[in-house]
Amino acid sequence: MNETLLDRTPAYFDTHCAGFTAREIMQQPVLWRELAGILTARREDIEAFMREIETINGLRVIFTGAGSSAFIGEVVQALLAAGINLRGEAVHTTDIVSAPDSALLDVPTLIVSFSRSGESPESSAALRYAAQKIRRLYNLVIVCRENSSVADYASRMSNTLTLCMPPSSCDQGFAMTSSVSCMALAAWTAFHRQRFDACLNFIKSCADTYEQELLSLDRAAREIAGWRFDRLVFLGSGPLRGLAREAAIKMLELTGGQVNASWDSPMGFRHGPKSILRDSTLTVHFISPVPLTRLYDRDLLNEMNSPKRGWRTVCVSSRALPAIADREVTLPAIAGENSVLADYLGGLLFSQLLALEKSLLLGIKTDDPSVDGIVNRVVQNVVIYPLDGSAPPQRSEQTEP
């Protein structure tokens, strides 16, 4: 039997310089099952670390990373705030490093760090800065490459737990795809130590479901990618706001900026950002499964289509919605109480596929979309300055995007 990838041959994607990206999107259900095995093997370590964390009064929790890794933190922070009443903050490593006095306080702190390659100077610098400024510091480091600078540095820190993701999640394509979903699921599971088995079952259920749904999602993405648009706004509320931000960066990256993609919350979109609307604008609405939030998401979608103008709208939801849209993308309703996380995973897969298909349609080399070198998979010319300014700056020639 000939191998197929999203109902095309692997050679098709390789010819279009999209092989890494296509395979890494497709492999995610397989990696989620592998992740469940990794978390099971580390269960005692996770439970011991989190049990100690739970005893600390007034603990500040920071979720951090750079680029897509930072957007994972925004999603997980919002999921945990709603799910387990965890008070946390999402602060990008780029903000920690550039303005540490504004980001780091000398109070008991847990920093949850996300990094694909583990070679980001910002990631290592954020850990170093925090160790210098916070006397009672704990670290949960989630990284996709075990033999990396961040993992090595973390191994020498006290009060630190490092979780390494499945090796194949360290994406070789330009954009982060499988790394995003794996790191998000790992962090979410770690904070649910008292429901560990239920979390693992949920991960496996999502893997089984989306393994069957990927082709359907890709066909919807391919159809929508064929529409005429050069402006795209992703909209989401709560945890899906972080998804909207991640979806926008994927479209920008994989189309080499030919599609001007942005993001907002549905409620915030009315307050100025709605000015982006033209006939060539597409808005993608990630509709929340949370009843109250869903009402606000629905109202904006209906407003966008009444009266109908030249722009087009897409509704992404796991539940039927009495609203008007040019295209509805229906996500599978996965049983259980983790409906927002399930919809996040579905929306993540759809947005990755939409960016892939638009990139292919535009004739862009998806695995290397920035032909003029303005943007690199490994960011260049990053300078990390000493926290006290007493020594010359150390230059790093690269960091992950």
Q: Do 78 and 168 share a domain, yes or no? A: yes
Q: Is 255 part of a structural domain of the chain?
A: yes
Q: Is 20 within a domain?
A: no
Residue 24: inside a domain, yes or no? Answer: no
CA–CA separation, 86 vs 88, rounded Å? 6
The total number of structural domains in the chain stands at: 2
- Residues 394, 282 share a domain: no
Say if residue 71 is in the same domain as residue 95.
yes
- The pLDDT score that the predictor gives to residue 313 is 97
Inside any domain, residue 30: no
pLDDT of res. 79:
97
Task: Tokens for 364, please give them.
Answer: 């862009």
CB atoms within 10 A of CB 245: 20
pLDDT of residue 400: 46
Do the beta carbons of residue 184 and residue 246 sit within 8 Å?
Answer: no
Structural domain includes residue 19:
no
Q: What residue numbers bound the domain in which 260 lies?
A: 212-361
| 274 and 155 both lie in a single domain | no
Identify the pLDDT of residue 321. Answer: 81
343 and 254 together in one domain:
yes
Query: Is 28 within a domain?
Result: no
Q: Assess whether 107 and 222 both reside in one domain.
A: no
> Helix (H, G, I), strand (E, B), or coil: what is residue 111?
strand
Nearest Cα residue to 46 out of 31, 33, 32, 35: 35
Looking at residue 120, the DSSP 8-state letter turns out to be -
Residue 338 shares a structural domain with residue 218: yes
Task: Note whether 247 and 170 are same-domain residues.
Answer: no
Which pLDDT value is given to residue 307?
77
Spatial distance between the Cα atoms of 233 and 344, rounded to a whole number of angstroms: 17
Angle made by CA atoms 28, 36, 153, in degrees to the nearest 5: 90
Query: Same structural domain for residues 223 and 354?
Result: yes
Same domain, 187 and 279: no
Q: How far is CA 110 from the centre of its chain?
A: 20
* Residue-level pLDDT at 22: 98
Residue 32 counted as domain residue: no
What pLDDT score was predicted for residue 397?
Answer: 46
Kindly state whether residues 317 and 282 are assigned to the same domain.
yes
What pLDDT is recorded for position 2?
55
Domain containing 226 — which CATH number? Answer: 3.40.50.10490
List the one residue out of 257, 201, 207 whose CA is nearest residue 232: 257
Q: Name residue 113's beta-bridge partners.
A: 64, 141
Let me know whether 122 and 70 are in one domain: yes
In a domain? residue 82: yes
| Residue 143 near residue 164 (C-beta atoms within 8 A) | yes
Question: How does strand 394-399 pair with strand 379-384?
Answer: antiparallel
Rg of the chain over Cα atoms, rounded to whole angstroms, equals 21
> What's the pTM?
0.95
Side by side, which strands form the sheet with 109-115? 88-90, 60-64, 109-115, 137-143, 160-164
- pLDDT profile of the chain (401 residues), mean per 10: 81 96 98 98 98 96 97 98 95 96 97 93 93 97 93 92 97 96 98 96 97 97 97 98 98 96 98 95 97 96 87 94 88 88 98 98 93 64 80 54 41
